[in-house]
Each structure stands twice: as C-alpha cells, then as structure tokens.
Amino acid sequence: MALKASGKAASALRLLLEQAGATANAGLAGAPQRSATTAGLLQQLGAGTAAAPQPQPRRPFASVAASSASNVLPPALDKDATANRSAMAALLTHMEGLHAHARAGGGATAIARHRSRGKLLPRERIDALLDEGSPFLELSPLAGRGMYGHDDVPSGGLVTGIGKVAGRLVAVVANDATVKGGTYYPITVKKHLRLQEVAAACRLPCLYLVDSGGANLPRQAEVFPDRDHFGRIFYNQARMSGQGIPQIAVVLGSCTAGGAYVPAMADECVIVAGNGTIFLAGPPLVKAATGEDVSAEELGGADLHCRSSGVTDHYAHDEAHALVLARDIVANLPLPPSATAPTLLGAPSPLGAPSSPPAPSWSEPLHPPEELRAAVPADPRRPWDVRCVLARLLDGSRFDEFKANYGTTLVTGFGSLYGRPVGVVANNGVLFSAAAQKGAHFVQLCAQRGIPLLFLQNITGFMVGRAAEAGGIAKDGAKMVRAVANAEVPKVTVVIGGSFGAGNYGMCGRAYSPHFMYMWPNARIGVMGGEQAAGVLAQVEAEKHRRKGGAWPAAEEEAFRAKMAALYDEQARPEYAGARLWDDGCIDPADTRRVVGLSLAAATWNRPAPPGAVDDSRWGPFRF
C-alpha cells in the first residue's frame, strides 16, 4: 500500500504499521512487488503511450527491395537457444537466491526486534513512500556480499534506488537498522555516495530515510578520515543543495554522531516522535563526559528538535505520518524544466492546454524481451550476433544502423526506448582500428545531437599483434576512449557478456562514469580472462625458476595455472562485482528493456532542454 492522500490523519495511517506487523514473516521475502509496468510510469513521465508491436518497413524506391529498405531487425536467435535458456535459468536461480538473502536484512531476530518498536523495514518504508503502483529501481542490492567474512552486511546495510513520489522522480537512501544497527561499514559509505553521485548526475531530489547508529567504530580507519569516506556524504548534501537539488531527511530512528549531520544538512527534515533521535553524542557518552543522566528522547527527540533546537522542521506522530509529510514536501517541489504538470500528474493545465507537444507513442519490440534469456550462448567463447538483443530491446525492433559495412565488430546505430531516442554502441567481436574509429565517430555524433548512449558490452579487448600495432590500434583505441570520456550526454552501460581489458574503457565501463551500469548473470569482468591470466602468470613464474637455475615441476605448474584461473574467474563474476559496487546491479536479461528505460528516464528527467548541445562536450586533441 502506498500513501497517496496527504491530508489523512496520522492515526488512520497507522494501518500501515498494523498491516506490517500482521505480516512480520513477509520481511524475510523482501518488500511487496510493485504492480505498475515500466511503460505506465514512463507514460506518466512524458514518454508517450504504448502501441501494439507491428513491423513498419519503410517504402523503398522502385530499384530497392523492401527487405533491404526495412530497418526492422530480424528475429533470429542463436541456434542453441534451448540450451542457452537452460544455462541462463540456472544462473538466474543462483542470483535470485543471493538477492533473497540480501532482502532478508539482519535476519528474523533482528527484524522481530525492529518491528517491536513500531518500525517498518526499509523496503516497506520505500514502498509506502512511493506513488502507488509505481516501480522502484533498486541499485546495488548485493553490496557487501562476502566482503567481511562472517561479518555479513546484506545489501551493505542500506537500500538505495530511484522511484516516483508525487509524480516526481526521486533518489532514495534508506538505512537498514536490522543490519548492524544501521551502522556504516566501508561498503555502506560507498553505496551511499554512489546514490548521491547518481542523484547529482540526474539532478534528482534526495530522500534520506534515516535509521542509523553512525560509523561502524571497529572499522573507523576505513570509514572516517579519507576523501571518499563518511564526511563526503555531508559534503555532497551541501553541494547538491547549493546546486538546487533538494535534500530531504526523514528521521525514523537513530541519528548518532556524524550521522546527525544527514538531517542537519537537509533542506527540510521530518522526525518521528518516540523513535527518531538526533544527537552528536548519545546518553552513555554524555554520562561519561559530563556526568549528566539523560534519556535519548530528552537528549535529541522530536519534541526537543521541533520545539527547541530547530534542527527539524516537521513533527510526525508515527512512521506513516512521517512518510505522508515527506510526500507533501516532494509535492511542493517545482517541476523540472523538461517536465509539465499535465504530463506528470494527469491534471488539467492551469492555462487550459499542455505547455508542450504531446509525447510520442512507441511500439513494444516485435519479439518478446523474455527471449533474451536464450540469446547468449552457454559457451562464452562462441561468437553470436548482438543484433538479436537489439531486436528484443528497441521500440518496434527498429534499428537504423550507422556504418553497417565498416568496422563490423562494433554495431552502432539509432533506435528508441519507450519513445526516447538512443544511440547504441554494441560489441560484435574484438575491437579493430576501424571499429574503434567508427565508435569514436558515432559517440561524437550522438553527443553533438544530444542523444543518450546505450553501451552493450561483450568485449575481450582491442586487437593485439604486430599488424594491429603497426596499424595504430593504440591511437585508434585512444580516440574511442577520449570520445566516450568527454561525451556529455546520458550514458547507460549493460555488460551482456565479457568486459575485459581496455575494451571495458572504450565501452564506457565504470571508470568512465556512465549514469548507470548493469550486468547480466552470465557477464564477466576483469583485466583478462582466467585462462589468459593463468598463462601469463605461469610464464612469469617459470622465468623465476629458470633464473634460479632450476626447472619448474609440471605438476606444480598445472596446479598453479588451475589456482590462478579459478581466482580470476571468481573475481570476474557479477556477484563479486556487485558486492564491490563495480556496477549498479545484476539484472535478468528479460528486464533489460524496463531497467534501461527507467534509467534513461532518470538521466533525462531534469536535464536542460535540449539535452547535451554540441558545446557541452570538450574533446581535446584526437591523435590522427
């Protein structure tokens, strides 16, 4: 259930807490699934209306065959589609188990204790905050997995993502107090900062649902002193507020020590009576320092901060009331320049007519996105045509390819997602000089026209060898890397296969600040593959033995190679990458269209129109 009517009395809204208490065990299965389709949300956000999928070939000239003139992609899947689907199903089952564990938070005992205090779980709070039926794009749910040994930190102790509140897209951070009391581990800080990075890039209002004990003291050296540690959270709040990006805090539990600055730095702050507290030092520390005996409520509760200190602005009787107040605050925010009230809220324009032309309609792909689960060969060494992915991703399966006969190991061209134009850069093999030049050209073209870019990575790297070096692969690869780094348009990256070596850089890997980056369950990421790494390292080790005048026993070499290959393969997996926030989440291939659509909606939501004029990008000298 979502809180829609902001005028309801707080006592009536306590039904939320009663319902949550009646389904206490449901917390282990995660928050309720949100019912609205992505298409419905995008329609409300101004992306138009969906039309039935149907081929729309262009009318050819008399001398051109209709099939040659059509921009509709063919339906062909890999010849081993059945085996591919089975392999992907196994991967999806494995990933769903990991996500279920993350949704369980601190476990049954911690959840029961949390509920006994009249509190909702973080995903329930988010579900109640967002517009009813609207989807929530959760980011990095596997953060922290396996990083601290037996000291498990599911989801990094933090739930973050993007959703819609009062018709506006917002970025949400929700502490999970069932995980280590909501304290900040190093990965918690990194995840919080990542959400702020997304919010700043997309200019989305930030809502902080605060319930945290502050920094994790045993790991203070890893969370406190450095540039991108705990203090950067408050720096980002100050900077974003100064740039006109609203910062809103809802204090639902503890805000201790440094954590007290999250609400204190907010533009507006709501606090819940009884549970919400804000103080730089808690009662035990105050007792030790001053000898004063004081309760948490007396020291930093809602009455003190709403009536005396002025740290908070809105007094909430309970969590339900607090979330209604938060929705009211968001509803009073001005709409971004690129949005209009009629498009967003379904309400008549104050002037009697929409202030902008109606949004375009779109067609669903001709081929169901669910077939993407069968697109990728189970054997990652087998080549396959990336166009089968585009046929199940783009509106109407239509794709206008750019330089189709040049640099053919890179597929570039124009399509649309939910009515939004997008430039596609997709791997179809190793990157040669021609492909790199083509990629640089196309990225510059999209930047000049203000068209968002979608990168589909399946890359082993740039071509190597004497002929490639003589042909200038280094300078041509550098052109593509430079173009990607400097293109000032929204960028979304999806790793659908391999992401190895410098190919990761040219295809807008994490270091190149895509607005969003996702991985499929079959994806792998690393400086090189496990077998290749084992071979290189074995050569180095063998040379060490030769220098010492001895031979390396074959059995030892074989064991060394197996160990190194296993290590590299483990570190290349999406769950390893997701735990460390090398991406924003591992997604079901069938959800790619919806996830990318929401990501592009967020990236273009509050962007000046027209997005990304030619003068926005500064390229520097290309090496010719």
Residue 547 CB partners (closer than 8 Å, separation 6+): none
Please give the angle made by the CA atoms of 452, 95 and 177, to the nearest 5 degrees.
Answer: 90
Query: What φ, ψ does residue 310 adopt, rounded to 5°?
Result: 75, 10
Dihedrals φ, ψ of 96, to 5°? -65, -35
- From first CA to last CA, the distance across the chain in angstroms is 59
pLDDT of residue 257: 85
pLDDT, residue 619, reads 74
Say if strands 168-175 and 206-212 run parallel, antiparallel, or are unpaired. Answer: parallel
Tens digits of residue pLDDT in 227-248: 999 999 999 999 999 999 999 9
Contact yes or no for 282/328 (Cβ under 8 A)? no
Measured distance CA(123)–CA(503) in Å, rounded = 36
Residues β-bridged to residue 138? 161
Q: Which two tokens stand for residue 107?
A: 């476990």
In three-state secondary structure terms, 462 is: strand
The kind and range of the H/E element at 260 are none
Type of residue found at 510: R
Q: Give the tokens for residue 455.
A: 């990168």
8-state DSSP, 378:
S
Cβ–Cβ under 8 Å, residues 430 and 440: no
pLDDT tens column, 513-565: 999 999 999 999 999 999 999 999 999 999 999 898 888 999 999 999 999 99
pTM for the whole thing? 0.87
Cα–chain center distance at 119: 27
Count, residues in the chain: 624
Single out the residue of 247, 246, 251, 245 nearest to residue 323, CA to CA: 251
Instruction: Write the DSSP string, 491-516.
Output: EEEEEEEEEETTHHHHTT-GGG--SE
**Was domain 369-523+586-604 assigned CATH 3.30.70.2860?**
no
Nearest C-alpha neighbor of 267 from the set 214, 341, 222, 334: 334
Instruction: Output the pLDDT for position 121.
Output: 98
Q: What is the DSSP string of 45-82?
A: III--EE-----PPPPPTTS-HHHH--BPP----TTHH
CB neighbours of residue 35 within 10 Å:
10
b/e map of 436-461 (b: 16 or more CB within 10 Å)?
A: bbbbbbbbbbbbbbbbbbbbbbbbbb
Looking only at the bridges linking them, the beta strands covering 137-139 and 453-459 are unpaired
CA 3, CA 12: separation in Å to the nearest integer?
11
Element (H, E) at 170: strand 168-175
For residue 477, what are its two tokens? 């690869």
Q: Pick from 216, 169, 156: which is nearest to 41 by CA?
A: 169
Q: Are 337 and 609 in contact (CB under 8 A)?
A: yes
Retrieve residue 486's tokens: 């400097």
Q: Report residue 33 as tokens.
A: 């699934």
CA 32 to chain CA centroid, Å, is 20
Residue with tokens 């309760």: 295
Q: What's the gap between Cα 213 and its chain centre?
A: 26
pLDDT for the residue 341: 35
Of 453, 475, 411, nearest to 617 (Cα)? Answer: 453
What is the CATH architecture assignment of 92-332?
A: Alpha-Beta Complex (3.90)
Give the helix/strand (H/E) hosting 622.
none
Can you tell me the distance from the alpha carbon of 254 to that of 304, in angstroms, rounded to the nearest whole number? Answer: 14
Q: What is the DSSP string of 405-420?
A: TSSTTEEEEEEEETTE
**Strand-pair partners of 472:** none
Please tell me the distance from the alpha carbon of residue 392 to that of residue 44, in angstroms, as a whole number: 23
d(CA 406, CA 438): 8
Q: Would you call 215 helix, strand, or coil by DSSP?
A: strand
Per-residue confidence (pLDDT) for residue 48, from 0 to 100: 61
How deeply is 309 buried, as exposed, middle or buried, from its count of CB atoms within 10 A (0-12, 13-18, 19+)? exposed
Which residues, given as ranges, of the chain have pLDDT below 50?
1-33, 35-36, 340-358, 611-615
Alpha-carbon distance of 260 to 264, in angstroms, equals 6
What pLDDT is stored for residue 14 in this prediction? 43
